[in-house]
Amino acid sequence: MQFVIAISGGGSDAVSQLLQVPGASRTLLEAVVPYSAAAMASFLGKAPDQACNEKTARAMAMASYQRARELHPDADAACLAGISCTASLITDRQRRGLHRIHIGVQTCKSTQSISVKLGKGLRNRNQEESIACNMILNAMARICGSSQQIPVDLTKEEPVIHEQSAADDDLQALFTGRIDRLRVAGKQTADSVKTLFPGAFNPLHEGHRLIAALASEITGEETHLEVCAINLDKLPLDYLEMEYRIERLVHEYPLWFTRAPTFVAKASLFPGVTFAVGIDTIIRIADPHYYDDETDKYLRAIDAIRDQGCRFLVFGREVDAKFLSLNDVVLPGRLSEICKQVPASRFRKNISSTALRNRIRNKPALNICK
């Protein structure tokens, strides 16, 4: 196994200990320390919602895994791993809340998160750092198939929370690029895809359900959902994120994961489909900014979608506090010809997945004992 390690806030002693061993370069490809907010945003491609939480640790592990593949492109994907630690330990200022350690692990076979909340006043900074270091080294040992573990000095009131999602062969093939699309087993339907609704669906909400229902009614075909696992400007979805989508989507709709971040790529994978999209998506498709401001490039993209026999069923939505439909925007003729507007009288919802996630995140925690 060969690793890229990303450390922020604590756990750097693990890198030091690894580098003290002769031949460490056979195991450690790179170690990065995105310590400042700007460094973390640069490392992840965007600023995380929080610097120290389980989701950020997983994102750091994914970025590390992608970096490992970049540094060693000829290696077997199964022999590479990204590992991360983001920690909130004792510092020189008053810290609200418990001290925390979050470790992320990403391989082509699984996604893991390992978290612990440390009791305040029990240890000094070096002792907390030692716990983070040992947890990182133990995680690396497990990935390498070793049963040996370094003792970690935790109390009974400091349980380690370990989440893991292991991928089957099909998900691994999608993740590593051996296949470009994957139909997830679940809701039974005809094999052919005629109506496709792309989105993140994080979470699925009533606006999504209404779009899917209206798309099926208008086209006369069952609506399939498509989640792009590999995006141009974002980190890939890890297996825990994919599992989240599967659990919440697959029993309601036929579900596809793809490696198709653009509609040109989607059209190539699903020729002849009608895409159910919002007006904001159509605006982006027609914006030369997304094609390096080269008019020929974006016209070729539109032609490529047309040549695959694909069309767009367009739903109006609020953009910059104004409800927009196809009648409110100017499109190139060749794009306009393959777009059909859903009347505002039938769809005028404005539900934001981002707003729903923020609302869920900010709810007071419930004290539930299981």
DSSP character string of 149-178: -------TTSPPEEEEEE--HHHHHHHHTS
Ordered DSSP codes for 283-350: HHHT-GGGGTT-HHHHHHHHHHHHHTT-EEEEE-EEETTEEE-GGGS---HHHHTTEEEPPTTT----
- Looking at the fold, whether 46 and 161 belong to one and the same domain comes out as yes
Domain endpoint, select from 109, 139, 166 = 166
Element of type H or E holding 102: strand 99-106
Residues 196 and 343 grouped into a single domain: yes
What is the pLDDT, as a whole number, of residue 95? 65
H-run or E-run covering 256: strand 255-258
Whether the upstream peptide bond of residue 203 has omega within 30° of 0, thus cis, is yes
Same domain? 147 vs 240:
no
Q: DSSP character for 258?
A: E
Closest CA to 28 of 82, 66, 78: 82
Q: What is the CATH number of the domain that holds 349?
A: 3.40.50
pLDDT of residue 304: 95
Read off the tokens for 321.
């506090």
Q: Which pLDDT does position 191 carry in this prediction?
A: 67
Show the domain range for 331.
Answer: 180-355
Shared domain check, 219 and 135: no
Cα angle 194, 195, 199 (rounded to 5 degrees) comes to 140
362 within a domain of the structure (yes/no): no
Same domain, 124 and 212: no
Quick one: tokens of 87? 């920690």
DSSP 121-132: TS--HHHHHHHH
For residue 119, being part of any structural domain is answered with: yes
Residues with pLDDT less than 50, the chain:
353, 356-357, 360, 363-370
Question: Which of 130, 222, 110 has the alpha carbon at shortest distance from 172?
Answer: 110
Any domain includes 364: no
Q: Are residues 192 and 266 in the same domain?
A: yes
How far apart CA 314 and CA 326 sit, in angstroms, is 7
Q: Which two tokens stand for residue 257?
A: 């994961």
Domain membership flag for residue 300: yes
* Best CA proximity match to 304, nearest among 256, 262, 259, 258: 262
Same domain for 60 and 209, yes or no, is no
Is the domain of 152 the same as that of 193?
Answer: no
- Packing angle, helices 37-44 and 54-71, rounded to 10: 60
Contacts 24+ apart (CB under 8 A), 333-340: 334/299, 334/302, 334/303, 334/306, 335/282, 335/285, 335/286, 335/302, 337/306, 338/305, 338/306, 338/310, 338/311, 338/312, 339/282, 339/311, 339/312, 339/314, 340/218, 340/311, 340/312, 340/313, 340/314
Domain count, the chain: 2
Q: Do 25 and 132 belong together in one domain? A: yes
CB 6 within 8 A of CB 29: no
Domain end position, chosen among 136, 166, 196: 166
Pairing of strands 339-341, 311-315: parallel
Alpha-carbon distance of 225 to 67, in angstroms, equals 30
Of 166, 189, 213, the last residue of a domain is 166
Whether residue 61 sits in one domain with residue 144: yes
Angle between helix 125-143 and 12-19 (nearest 10): 60
Give me the numbers of helices (H) and strands (E) for the chain, helices first please.
12, 15
Question: What distances in angstroms separate CA 358 from CA 200, 202, 332, one per listed residue?
Answer: 15, 11, 36
